[in-house]
Amino acid sequence: MKPYVYIGHPIEKETEAYIAKHCHYKIWNEENEKVPEAVLKQELKHADGAMLTATKVTDEIVRDANQLKVISTVSVGYDQFDVDVLSKHGIYGTHTPYVLDDTVADLIFGILLSASRRIGELHHYVKNGKWTIEPDSAFYGQDVHHKTLGIVGMGRIGEKIVHRAKLGFEMDIVYHNRSCKPELEEQYDASYVELEELLKTADFVLLMVPLTNDTVKLIGAKELSLMKSTSILINGARGPVIDEDALVQALKNKDIFSAALDVFETEPLPSDHPFLQLDNVTLTPHIGSATLATTRAMEMSAAENIVQGALGNVPRDVIPELKSRNQV
């Protein structure tokens, strides 16, 4: 008999066909509306697996889901999972690493370039009919080539960005991470440094850390004050790793040159957010992996994880914290 899985958001027909081959299933097909908690709890009572990408997984949600084996998310990030809860109930939590690494690295480098050369700002300048003089210092940006890129959080995507920075723009690389990466250092002539030194020396400070208790507001007023006035801050991690109020003040005061942000503390970004009033910040709507090919690959990866788990097997992409607890 096929297991039953619940999909908490719309999916592509190809993904649905794959799941249908292995499982009975139900899909919440409301594009812009989350599954009501009462509906979700009722569905999970008799589900073997669930795909819940935008839902916080708490004890309240899974308390009565006695046969639930796996919860899959179409995301490399998994801060919506309460790892203690999953471990307590013996539920696998899975994510979608690897398939989006190059796509996210492309986006990060894109917003880095945009912030440094003020592409977004000057695009609006031209479209609004304000270009009435020959280019002068009013158009100046910052060079990227041969500058120092400092990466905080050197995971797979960080390494892809290093590859682009070193081979494409001949940048010097410094990084701060939970552990050193000797092979990366040798291949790209990169240097491990403490966070304070990175902030003081890097021309571009890129945040790629996971969201944990230790990384919430990792960058605040003190850290911003260490950066050079010509520095650019890029966040490709999660919004809460930056104290947004402190960043707004630093941008207003020109304590740093600019920022480029793909993630925010509140998403979508509120219409009255101070970022929207600043010229020296580049904003994108959390689109790191948002290409058709990559999102489809991520979704299929998540489907494979949910099918493996629902069938009673160990899914391929169990989140690291559960692996470290010997759940796998």
Catalytic residues: 238, 267, 286
Token pair of 68 as six digits? 């639930």
What would the DSSP string read from start to end of 70-137?
EEE-SSS--TTB-HHHHHHHT-EEE---STTHHHHHHHHHHHHHHHHHTHHHHHHHHHTT---S---G
The C-alpha atoms of residue 185 and residue 12 are separated, in whole angstroms, by 40
Amino acid at 127: K
DSSP state of 35: P
CA-CA-CA-CA torsion sign (267, 269, 274, 275): positive
What stretch of H or E contains 184? Answer: helix 182-188
Largest CA distance in the chain: 73
